[in-house]
Structure 1
Amino acid sequence: MTLPDLGIIEGFYGPLWTMDERRALVRQLGAHGYGFYLYAPKADPYLRRRWEQDHPEHLARELAAFAGFCREQGVRFGIGLSPFEIFNRFDDGARQALARKLAFLDGMGIDELAILFDDMHSDTPDLARTQAEIMHWVMAHSGANRFIMCPSYYSDDPVLDRVFGQRPDDYLEVLGETLDPAVDVFWTGEEVCSREISPGHLRRVAGQLRRKPLLWDNYPVNDGDRMSRHLHLRGFTGRPAANAGEIAGHAINPALQPTLTAIPALTLAQSYGQGEDYCYGEAFRTAAREVVGPDLAEQLLADLLVLQDAGLHRISEERMASLTAAYGEAEHPAAREILRWLAGEYQVTDEMVQTQ
């Protein structure tokens, strides 16, 4: 079967990855059909709360070099910019600041640009039309080849209404009617972290948006106070290969652990490639052996219930010592990520989520 346009969105809360970690993930996943990488970590303040400021020169050079590396691997590089609550006041000052930022991003050599309106409060009466207007302005002032938008309400999940205010009536319909058809629109499914995403649901959303949605899949991401206590390692489920014909692409928001995230990421490509023959357990074993080698893959399989299901808060002192000893003997980046997780170094607090 033909793979959809697969991608990686580095869009989580929590600690930043290193450039070496990003390169390793791109190299591995690019060989399996992943075609784009969107850099949008919540911990990069120059893309969110301090978006009007340029990245410091050394960081800008590193990002430009990473963009070049992605292209060498056949992977498109993009930036996800969250101009914080700009839709509440898109005046001349905001336009000038945004024009400067877009020119700065063009200088990095980006292929794709996403404007992310998610996780922000709005007091704008005509929100969808205002956001479409901003997107059209961005398209006229950016040299990117592809434009993506994440709407304020990017899921049916009522949690968005509770946290950010009641969504306007017909928000998706107005956005679909007003927004240039060339702009892709991110969508996470029926929930922010969807257990299942079905062709029927995608067709309904496509009708509202007047375009096929671009999936922003919040698996295997594990940010947040609760989720960061668990490692998301299992193969993808609830994403049938039939979805491929209903979407503009499928991008995953990765786990906090860059090496381990490659395991479920590889199973997504297997799921689309194998169709009805896909078996998520076997896909996990195949992917784990490729990413960490046969011995460590068997260790992960043996510990899967503890690492993914029980989580840090339910590991006894005795089991903690056993796990630390087992992974301490393995000379592999994935084992080091597990040791860091066991030590609590990947814990994401509510304060981090509220301030990043």
Structure 2
Amino acid sequence: MTVELGIIEGFYGPLWRWPERKQLVQALEPHGYRFYLYAPKADAYLRRRWDEPHPQETATQLADFGRFCRKHGVRFGVGLSPFEVFNDFNDGAKKALAKKLAFLDEIGVQELAILFDDMRSDTPDLAARQADIVHWVQERSGAAQLSICPSYYSDDPVLDRVFGERPSDYLATLGGLLDPAVRVFWTGEEVCAREVTPGHLRRVGKALGRKPLLWDNYPVNDGDRMSRHLHLRGFTGRPANNAAWLAGHAINPALQPTLTAIPAITLAESYRQGPDYQYGQAFRHAAREILGADLADQVQADLLTLQDAGLHRISEDKKQALLTIYRGYPHAGAGEICRWLCGDYQVTDEMVQTQ
């Protein structure tokens, strides 16, 4: 059994360049990745400044990227985060949201995700308000597929600590109110789930009244702590029989667009191979496909340093030695390792709080 795979570019931190996004689409399309949702937290015009129009240059590039995705058989989508609009969905907010939806239709968005993640609310009837907003959007959007990320998108109590205690029966209430055609994102038992099991997905699906759309926070490495590590290893803890309980499986990529393709390919392999899947072997095959044999072997040799030790535990001498090695490879993946070693991908707490 297979499941539809996709990318949801939903991380905090520096924005990718458009050619990098296209490269990732081309790398993953042969492995069954069928949708791409553009939703970086750093695009303020989709989040904190959602009610303002995108600059013309960005709008033009978004439309071009949409055409590129469609040309490669990948459904083009956008994740819109109308920041805390559920606290006061007034006439002004409705007018601004209608304009944004018209813009998204104009650039050819095929899938629209309304993202309510990482926002504060003390609204007791939060689920009802969010369902009403999604249905309001549904009536005005030309997107063929509509999804929502709930405010509480995981069992993880960290969400309650940071954004306020979740309302009682929030998930079941939201699922009961939403049109069955609307897909609902869920990250698992934790925000960055170490494992996702059929038993867990079955329980969540029962509460929602539909199969959840998995928002997988691997290999994403945003945040102050995670951005000090490269997430390269093959996927684990996602058994192939999860497919029966999922509406789709989207990965939130790492800050490094070329390197992201390595674990992404291993996820496709885990579904394809089922019980025969071996994450170490899958990593080696994917790394060679993306990086070429020599660079892949070098990355594998340094995997403990790059993924496990992290920047804060690499001495200056070791860092310089690694830079010397990777600067010798004329490859985008090696360039990303060098930029990471130089601290270019470091995500600060301020970024997370203000994006």
Describe the SS at the equivalent of 1:216: strand
Coordinate RMSD, CA, aligned? 0.5
- Once residues 341 and 176 of structure 1 are traced to their aligned partners in structure 2, the CA distance between those partners, rounded to angstroms, is 41
Q: Where do 1:297-316 residues align within 5 Å?
A: 297-316=296-315
- Once residues 14 and 279 of structure 1 are traced to their aligned partners in structure 2, the CA distance between those partners, rounded to angstroms, is 31
Letter in 2 for 1:199: P
Q: Do 1:8 and 1:253's aligned partners in 2 also have CA atoms closer than 8 Å?
A: yes
- Once residues 91 and 226 of structure 1 are traced to their aligned partners in structure 2, the CA distance between those partners, rounded to angstroms, is 38
- 1:94 offset after TM fit, Å? 1.1
Say yes or no: does 1:107 pair with 2:121: no
- Once residues 296 and 162 of structure 2 are traced to their aligned partners in structure 1, the CA distance between those partners, rounded to angstroms, is 40
- 1:3 offset after TM fit, Å? 2.4
- Once residues 292 and 272 of structure 1 are traced to their aligned partners in structure 2, the CA distance between those partners, rounded to angstroms, is 23
Say yes or no: does 1:12 pair with 2:11: yes
Any idea what the Cα deviations from partners look like across 1:289-331, whole Å, max 9, x if unmatched? Answer: 0000000000010000000000000001221121111101000
- 1:16 offset after TM fit, Å? 0.3
- Once residues 235 and 78 of structure 1 are traced to their aligned partners in structure 2, the CA distance between those partners, rounded to angstroms, is 26
Say yes or no: does 1:222 pair with 2:221: yes
> Taking every aligned residue pair, what percent have the same amino acid on both sides?
71
For structure 1, list consecutive stretches of 5 or more residues without a partner in the other structure: none
Name the TM-score, length of structure 2 as normaliser: 0.99
Any idea what the Cα deviations from partners look like across 1:177-199, whole Å, max 9, x if unmatched? Answer: 10100000000000000000000
Q: Identify the residue that residue 141 of structure 1 maps to in structure 2.
A: 140
- 1:54 offset after TM fit, Å? 1.0
Q: Once superposed, which parts of structure 1, at least 4 consecutive aligned residues long, lie more than 3 Å away?
A: none
Letter in 2 for 1:100: K
Q: Identify the residue that residue 165 of structure 2 maps to in structure 1.
A: 166
Q: Identify the residue that residue 152 of structure 1 maps to in structure 2.
A: 151
Q: Where do 1:1-356 residues align within 5 Å?
A: 2-356=1-355
* Count, aligned residues: 355
- 1:125 offset after TM fit, Å? 1.8
- Once residues 124 and 159 of structure 1 are traced to their aligned partners in structure 2, the CA distance between those partners, rounded to angstroms, is 19
Letter in 2 for 1:164: F
Q: Do 1:223 and 1:348's aligned partners in 2 also have CA atoms closer than 8 Å?
A: yes
Describe the SS at the equivalent of 1:31: helix
Name the TM-score, length of structure 1 as normaliser: 0.99
- Once residues 326 and 133 of structure 2 are traced to their aligned partners in structure 1, the CA distance between those partners, rounded to angstroms, is 49
- Once residues 42 and 178 of structure 1 are traced to their aligned partners in structure 2, the CA distance between those partners, rounded to angstroms, is 28
- Once residues 291 and 76 of structure 1 are traced to their aligned partners in structure 2, the CA distance between those partners, rounded to angstroms, is 23
Letter in 2 for 1:335: A
- Once residues 225 and 194 of structure 1 are traced to their aligned partners in structure 2, the CA distance between those partners, rounded to angstroms, is 18
Describe the SS at the equivalent of 2:101: helix
- Once residues 35 and 3 of structure 1 are traced to their aligned partners in structure 2, the CA distance between those partners, rounded to angstroms, is 12
Letter in 2 for 1:165: G
